[in-house]
Every structure is written in structure tokens, then in C-alpha cells.
């Protein structure tokens, strides 16, 4: 394989970064982080907009540091149908800043129970926004459907994974191995779409 080229990822989320690195392995790209990456204030409108905001902010910060490389932003979330799609773009902040992930997952189940809806349908969504070193952009968005589990099951993955029941595997994402999650997840589908985009270029 020719020398890999760098993509700097605009994230402070270690779980995301870990998954993205695995999903890009063998693609010819190597994923890097920038120590000085200053998080952006995210909007509440769309994943695509937030992913673009993150990528543009990192690109600006890299240029200021004299680095002209490609960048990638990931904005994602979990949407619960009976809650009108919440927490959605606010998933990372659901339950307040001080809440633990176990508390956020429990709160989500409690809210669903309080809604009295029999519908446990949910989906994970991932938007990716890529900016090449010459400034051209590619945006993709993909999802994966599932259900809110009755309780936390498994400890793999991160954040909402233990409470996201994936019917085809009859397990939560928290019970899947890394490879199993990466074969079906919203993020893996978005990465596949990005890598397959006709105008996604490596040079």
C-alpha cells in the first residue's frame, strides 16, 4: 500500500476515535489527533451541521499551527421514537453535565417508561464531514435501528451502547465485540459511505 495520508479527527471522544481508527484501517488513511483541538460550541439543529462545524474549527486551528492536512468531524447521537427523537443531537449533554453514563442510560429508560408508550424503537445516527487538504468537502449521514433495552446489558463500547438493543444480534451494542459493532454500526455505515463517495479523494 502507498504511504498513508493523514486525516486529523475533530473529536475529544476516545470511544469514537477508537472506532474510527479501526474503521479506517486498510483505507490508506491514518487518523491523527491535534493536541490543541479546541472543541466548538455545537448547535441543536442537525448532526450534519455540527459535524461540519467541528471539522471547520479543527481545520482553522491546524492552519494556524502551519498544518495543511485533511480533517474529519463526527457528530452522532441516539434518538428514541417515543420521545420525539430525543436526546438526538443533545445526546452527549443529556441529563446534564455532571451525569455519569450509567445515569444517562437509566434516565433515558425512565423517560421512556414515563411516556407510557409501548414503542421502544430507537436509532443511532452518525454524520461525518470530511474536508480535504485542498478544501473540498464530503458529508454523509447513516443510522442503525434498534430498541431501548430494559436495562444495561454488557460493558463494551461507550456511552449508550449497553442500552441499545440490536435485534439482528439479539444483544445490545454493549454485548457485541468491537468487530461485531463495527460491522453494523451507524458509524461504520457512515465511514463506508464516505470511503465510497465518488468525490472522496486521497490525493
Owner of C-alpha cell 444495561: 152
Least Å distance, CB 109 to ligand ITT, is 15
3 is catalytic: no
22-51 positions binding ligand ITT, by CB under 6 A: 39, 42
Of 74, 75, 143, 161, the active-site residue reads 75
Distance of CA 20 to the CA centre of its chain: 9
Q: Among residues 77 and 139, whose Cβ is nearest to ligand ITT?
A: 77
Q: Among residues 102 and 202, whose Cβ is nearest to ligand ITT?
A: 102
- From the list 135, 145, 146, 142, the residue with the least C-alpha distance to 199 is 135
Q: Among residues 69 and 143, whose Cβ is nearest to ligand ITT?
A: 143
Distance CA(6)–CA(31), nearest Å, equals 6
Per CB under 6 A, the list member of 8, 160, 165, 166 interacting with ligand ITT is: 160
Say whether residue 11 binds ligand ITT (CB under 6 A): yes
- In 10 A of CB 13, how many CB atoms? 15
Say whether residue 172 binds ligand ITT (CB under 6 A): no
116-145 positions binding ligand ITT, by CB under 6 A: 124
> How many residues of this chain interact with ligand ITT, rule: CB under 6 A?
22
Per CB under 6 A, the list member of 8, 24, 61, 74 interacting with ligand ITT is: 74
Q: Label residue 14 exposed, middle or buried (CB < 10 Å: 0-12, 13-18, 19+).
A: exposed
b or e along 79-105 (b: 16 or more beta carbons within 10 Å of the residue's beta carbon)?
bbbbbeebbbbebeebbeeeeeeeebb
Question: DSSP readout, 86-101?
Answer: -BGGGGGGTT-TT--H
Owner of C-alpha cell 438526538: 88
Per CB under 6 A, the list member of 52, 78, 80, 131 interacting with ligand ITT is: 78
Give the catalytic positions in this structure: 75
Interacting residues with ligand ITT (CB under 6 A)? 11-13, 16, 39, 42, 54, 74-78, 91-92, 124, 157-161, 185, 187
Amino acid at each position: 500500500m502507498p504511504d498513508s495520508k493523514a486525516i486529523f479527527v475533530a473529536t475529544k471522544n476516545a470511544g469514537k476515535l477508537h472506532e474510527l481508527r479501526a474503521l479506517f484501517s486498510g483505507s490508506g488513511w491514518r487518523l491523527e489527533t491535534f493536541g490543541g483541538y479546541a472543541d466548538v460550541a455545537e448547535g441543536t439543529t442537525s448532526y450534519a451541521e455540527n459535524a461540519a462545524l467541528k471539522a471547520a474549527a479543527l481545520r482553522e486551528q491546524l492552519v494556524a499551527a502551519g498544518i495543511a492536512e485533511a480533517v474529519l468531524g463526527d457528530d452522532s447521537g441516539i434518538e428514541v421514537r417515543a420521545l420525539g427523537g430525543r436526546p438526538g443531537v443533545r445526546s452527549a449533554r443529556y441529563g446534564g453535565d455532571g451525569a455519569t453514563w450509567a445515569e444517562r442510560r437509566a434516565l433515558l429508560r425512565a423517560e421512556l417508561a414515563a411516556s407510557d408508550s409501548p414503542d421502544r424503537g430507537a436509532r443511532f445516527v452518525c454524520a461525518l464531514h470530511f474536508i480535504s487538504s485542498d478544501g473540498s468537502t464530503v458529508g454523509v449521514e447513516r443510522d442503525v435501528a434498534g430498541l431501548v433495552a430494559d436495562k444495561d446489558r454488557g460493558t463494551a463500547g461507550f456511552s449508550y451502547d449497553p442500552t441499545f438493543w440490536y435485534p439482528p444480534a439479539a444483544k445490545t451494542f454493549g454485548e457485541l465485540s468491537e468487530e461485531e459493532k463495527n460491522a453494523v454500526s451507524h458509524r461504520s455505515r457512515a465511514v463506508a459511505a464516505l470511503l465510497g463517495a465518488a468525490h472522496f479523494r486521497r490525493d
